[in-house]
Amino acid sequence: MQSLSYLTLEKKAQQVPQSVVDTFALKISGGLLRRGDLAYDEARRVWNATVDRHPALIARCLSTGDVQAGVRFAATHRMLLSVRGGGHHIAGNAVAEGGLMLDLSGMSAVSIDAAAHTARVGPGALLRDVDREAQAHGLATPLGINSTTGAAGLTLGGGFGWLSRRHGMTIDNLLSATVVTADGAEHAVSPSAQPDLFWALRGGGGNFGVVTSFELQLHPVGPEVYAGLVVYPFAQARQVLRAWRDFSAGAPEELSVWTVMRKAPPLPFIPASAHGTEVVIFPLVYSGDIAQGERAAAPVLQFGTPLASHLGPTPYAAFQGAFDPLLTPGGRNYWKSNNFSALSDAALDVIMAAAAHLPGPECEVFVAQLGGAMSRVDPAATAFVGRDVRFIMNVHGRWSDARDDERVRAWARQAFEDAAPHATGSGYVNFLTEDEAERVAASYGSNYPRLQALKQRYDPGNLFRMNLNIVPAGGAQREVAS
Q: What is the CATH number of the domain that holds 289?
A: 3.40.462.20
Other CB atoms within a 10 A radius of the CB of residue 183 amount to 15
Asked if residue 368 is part of any domain, the answer here is: yes
User: What band does 356 get if pLDDT is binned at 50, 70 and 90?
Assistant: very high
The two beta strands, 259-263 and 308-315, are unpaired
Final residue before a domain boundary, out of 407, 431, 455: 431
CATH of the domain at 61: 3.30.43.10
For residue 451, is it within any domain? no
Structural domain of residue 286, as residue ranges? 224-431
Same domain as 363, residue 418: yes
Boundary (domain end) residue, out of 44, 71, 103: 103
CA 173 from centroid of its chain's CA atoms? 16
> How far is the C-alpha of 99 from the C-alpha of 101, rounded, in Å?
7
pLDDT in tens, 200-249: 999 999 999 999 999 999 999 999 999 999 999 999 999 999 999 999 99
| pLDDT band at 456; cut points 50, 70, 90 | very high
pLDDT above 60: residue 477: no
Per-residue model confidence (pLDDT) at position 476: 56
CA 306 to chain centre: 31
257 & 347 share domain: yes
Residue 255 domain flag: yes
Q: What is the pLDDT of residues 250-293, one digit of tens each?
A: 999 999 999 999 999 999 999 999 999 999 999 999 999 999 99
Whole-number Å distance between alpha carbons of 434 and 128: 26
Within the chain, what is the greatest distance between any pair of CA atoms?
A: 74
The torsion defined by the Cα of 149, 158, 140 and 285, in degrees rounded to 10, comes to: -80
Instruction: Pick the closest to residue 415 from 332, 358, 479, 476 (CA basis).
Output: 358
Q: Which helix (H) or strand (E) holds 101?
A: strand 100-103
Classify residue 18: in a domain, yes or no. Answer: yes
Those residues with Cβ within 8 angstroms of residue 403's Cβ, 6 or more apart along the chain or in another chain: none
Of 154, 136, 153, 134, the C-alpha closest to 144 is 154
Single-letter code of the amino acid located at 474: G
Residue 25 main-chain phi, psi, to 5 deg: -60, -30
375 within a domain of the structure (yes/no): yes
pLDDT at site 1 = 63
How does pLDDT run across 9-18, given as a tens digit for each residue?
A: 999 999 999 9
Rounded to whole angstroms, how far apart are CA atoms 226 and 373? Answer: 20
Tell me the CA end-to-end span of the chain in Å, nearest whole number: 29
> Which pLDDT score is estimated for 409?
97
Question: How many domains is the chain built from?
Answer: 3
User: What whole-number percentage of the chain has pLDDT above 70?
Assistant: 98
Please, which pLDDT band fits residue 482 given cuts at 50, 70 and 90?
A: very low
Last residue of a domain, one of 84, 103, 122: 103
Question: 295 and 373: one domain?
Answer: yes
Same domain, 212 and 317: no
**Are β-strands 139-140 and 118-121 bridged in parallel, bridged antiparallel, or unpaired?**
unpaired
pLDDT tens for each residue of 380-418: 999 999 999 999 999 999 999 999 999 999 999 999 999
Do 425 and 334 belong to one domain?
yes
Amino acid occupying residue 106: G
Which helix or strand (DSSP H or E) is residue 319 part of?
Answer: helix 316-320
Residue 33 and residue 151 share a domain:
no
Q: Looking at this protein, which amino acid is placed at residue 219?
A: H
User: What average pLDDT does the chain have?
Assistant: 96
43 and 33 Cβ atoms separated by less than 8 Å: yes
Question: What predicted TM-score, i.e. pTM, was given to this entire model?
Answer: 0.95
Where helices occur in 14-58 by DSSP H, the ranges are: 18-25, 40-44
* Residue at 19 is within a domain: yes
185 and 98 in a common domain: no
DSSP 298: G
DSSP state of 471: P
196 and 289 both lie in a single domain: no
- Report if residue 337 sits inside a domain: yes
What's the pLDDT tens digit per position in 137-182?
Answer: 999 999 999 999 999 999 999 999 999 999 999 999 999 999 999 9
Average pLDDT over residues 77-98: 96
CA distance 337 to 392: 7
The pLDDT of residue 124 is above 70: yes
Q: How far is CA 221 from the centre of its chain?
A: 22
Q: Is residue 466 part of a domain?
A: no
CATH of the domain at 187: 3.30.465.10
Range 251-268 burial, b when 16+ CB lie within 10 A, else e: bbbbbbbbbbbbbbbeee
Same domain, 162 and 67: no
- My answer on whether 317 and 333 are in the same domain is yes
Enclosing H/E stretch for 382: none
Question: Is the pLDDT score of 445 beyond 60?
Answer: yes
- Shared domain for 30 and 53, answered yes or no, is yes
- What's the mean pLDDT in 322-338? 93
- pLDDT value for 351: 97
Looking at residue 429, the DSSP 8-state letter turns out to be G
- Looking at the fold, whether 390 and 261 belong to one and the same domain comes out as yes
